[in-house]
DNA sequence: GAAGATAGGTCTTGTCAATGAACCTGTCAT
DNA sequence: ATGACAGGTTCATTGACAAGACCTATCTTC
C-alpha cells in the first residue's frame, strides 16, 4: 500500500487532499515553489531530498495538476505552481503559523510574512491587518525573522532568501540562468 | 529514518509542523477528534487503521501536546484535543476546502460546514459570510452534503454523522458509554 | 467465581516504499 | 574530444507500515 495514497475507505475531502499533498516531502516541495524555487537541482540542494524521491514527487504533482513543467531546449526545466497549486497557500501558511506558535524555540519567528502593498506583517490567519484582506500568495513578501538561525544552511536558495523576497517570483540564486555568453566563472 | 520526522536540515516552521502532523493517518485522526471521536475503538472503526499505527500516532500526539488522554477506572480512555490541537482547525478546513474544490467527483460537497450561531454555510476560507468572522471549530456544525455517498461506511461514527453534528462534542454512537446497568443488547 | 464480552492495547512477521549511491543522457563551452 | 552541468533513472538496502494473533484488565451474567 502506498504511503499516503489510497485512504480508500474514506469518502472525505480531507483524505482526498492528503492523498496528493500528504506524503512526506510534498508540502516542503510546494513551500519551495512559493519561495520561487523552480529547478530540479535547486529543490535538491535546498531540501536534502533523495533524487529519486524528488523525481517521483514532482511527477505526481505535475500529473495531478498542482505543478506544471516548462521544458527548455537547453535541457533545463522549470516546475511552476498552477492555479490549483497556488490555492494551497492557506494550508501552507496555516502550517507555518501553527509550527511557529507551538513548536518553535522561543526566539521569535524565523520567517516574517508581510503584505507587499503596505508592508504590514500578516496575522496568524494570514490576513493583512491594515488592508483587512487575506492577500494572495503573489502579494506576500518573505524575509528572515529574529528567530532565524543566521547561517543554518549554505545552499544558493537560502542565500537568496537572506533578503526580502516576493513570493512566486524566481530566485536569483547563483547566476541568472545561462544566457548565450554569460558563463565565465571557473 | 522515520517517515515524516526529522526534516533536520530545515530550519522552517512548516517542516516542524509536518514532523508532528505530517505523518500518514495523523491528520485523519485529528479530523476525527474534531468530529467528536475520542475512543480508541471508534478511531479504529472509522479509519480502518492498523491498531499498532493508531496506538503509535495517539501516543505521539499526546506526547507533543496536541491531544490529552483522560483515563477512567473502567479501563476506558478518551483522547481529546488540547488548545494546541484545536489550533489545527484552519489547516484541516483548508485541506477539506482544497480537496473539495480540486479533487472531488462533481456531485457537490460531501460535507457541509456551517456556523452554529446563524446556520450560514462557511466560505472557502472558513469564514462565516453573515457574521464576517472565522468561527472557532467549536462553533461549527457539520452535516452530510449533496455529494456524500449515502451508505459509504457502516461504522457507528459515520452513522452518528448522518445528522447535523456540532464539532468537538462527543458523538452518540452506539450506547452512551456503559453505565452500571445499561447493557442489554445481545 | 467461571465464562464471556468489551476496551485498549502489544508482538510478530511480511511487504513495499524511501533512501543513497552509482550510472546514464543531452547540452554547452572550450 | 573533453569536461562540466542539468536532469534525471536504476538498483540494493533498510525501515515504516499493515495485518492479525495474542495479551490484560474490567465489567456482566450466571
Question: Is residue B131 scored above 50 in pLDDT?
Answer: yes
Flag residues 38-57 of B with CB < 7 Å from strand D. Answer: 48-53, 56
| Structural domain boundaries in chain A | 13-85, 89-166
Q: Which three cell numbers stand for residue B127?
A: 469564514
Distance CA B100, CA A123 (A): 26
3-state helix, strand, coil in chain B (%, to 5): 35, 15, 50
Q: Which three cell numbers stand for residue B125?
A: 476560507
Q: Nearest residue to C18 (CA, C1')?
A: A53
E strand or H helix at B44, and its extent? helix B40-47
Averaged pLDDT, A67-94: 93
Distance CA A80, CA A62 (A): 9
CB–CB contacts below 8 A, A to B: 142
A2 touches strand D (CB under 7 A): no
Is B27 in the A-facing interface, judged by CB distances under 8 Å? yes
Class of the CATH-defined domain B13-85: mainly alpha
Query: What is the DSSP-derived secondary structure letter of residue B122?
Result: P
Q: Which residues of A touch B84 (CB under 8 A)?
A: 102
Is A152 in the B-facing interface, judged by CB distances under 8 Å? yes
Query: What is the DSSP-derived secondary structure letter of residue B152?
Result: S
Q: Which three cell numbers stand for residue B86?
A: 484545536
pLDDT, tens only, B72-95: 877 789 999 999 999 999 999 999
* Most confident listed range (A64-68, A73-77, A172-176, B46-50): A64-68
- The spacing between the Cα labelled CA in B39 and the C1' in C3, in angstroms, equals 26
Q: Which three cell numbers stand for residue B72?
A: 477512567
pLDDT, tens only, A81-103: 999 999 999 999 999 999 999 99
Q: Which residues of A touch B15 (CB under 8 A)?
A: 28, 99
Q: What is the pLDDT of residue A182?
A: 34
Amino acid at each position: 500500500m502506498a504511503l499516503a495514497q489510497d485512504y480508500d475507505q474514506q469518502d472525505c475531502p480531507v483524505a482526498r487532499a492528503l492523498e496528493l499533498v500528504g506524503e512526506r516531502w510534498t508540502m516542503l516541495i510546494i513551500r519551495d515553489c512559493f519561495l520561487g524555487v523552480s529547478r530540479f537541482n535547486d529543490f535538491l540542494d535546498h531540501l536534502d531530498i533523495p533524487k529519486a524521491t524528488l523525481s517521483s514527487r514532482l511527477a505526481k504533482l505535475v500529473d495531478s495538476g498542482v505543478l506544471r513543467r516548462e521544458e527548455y531546449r537547453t535541457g533545463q526545466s522549470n516546475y511552476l505552481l498552477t492555479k490549483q497549486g497556488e490555492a494551497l497557500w492557506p494550508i501552507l501558511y496555516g502550517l507555518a503559523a501553527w509550527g511557529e506558535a507551538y513548536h518553535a524555540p522561543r526566539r521569535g519567528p524565523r520567517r516574517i510574512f508581510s503584505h507587499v502593498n503596505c508592508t504590514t506583517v500578516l496575522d496568524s490567519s494570514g490576513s493583512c491587518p491594515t488592508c483587512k484582506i487575506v492577500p494572495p500568495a503573489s502579494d506576500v513578501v518573505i524575509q528572515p525573522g529574529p528567530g532565524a538561525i543566521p547561517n543554518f544552511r549554505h545552499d544558493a536558495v537560502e542565500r537568496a532568501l537572506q533578503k526580502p523576497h516576493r513570493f512566486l517570483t524566481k530566485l536569483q540564486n547563483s547566476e541568472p540562468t545561462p544566457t548565450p555568453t554569460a558563463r565565465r566563472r571557473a
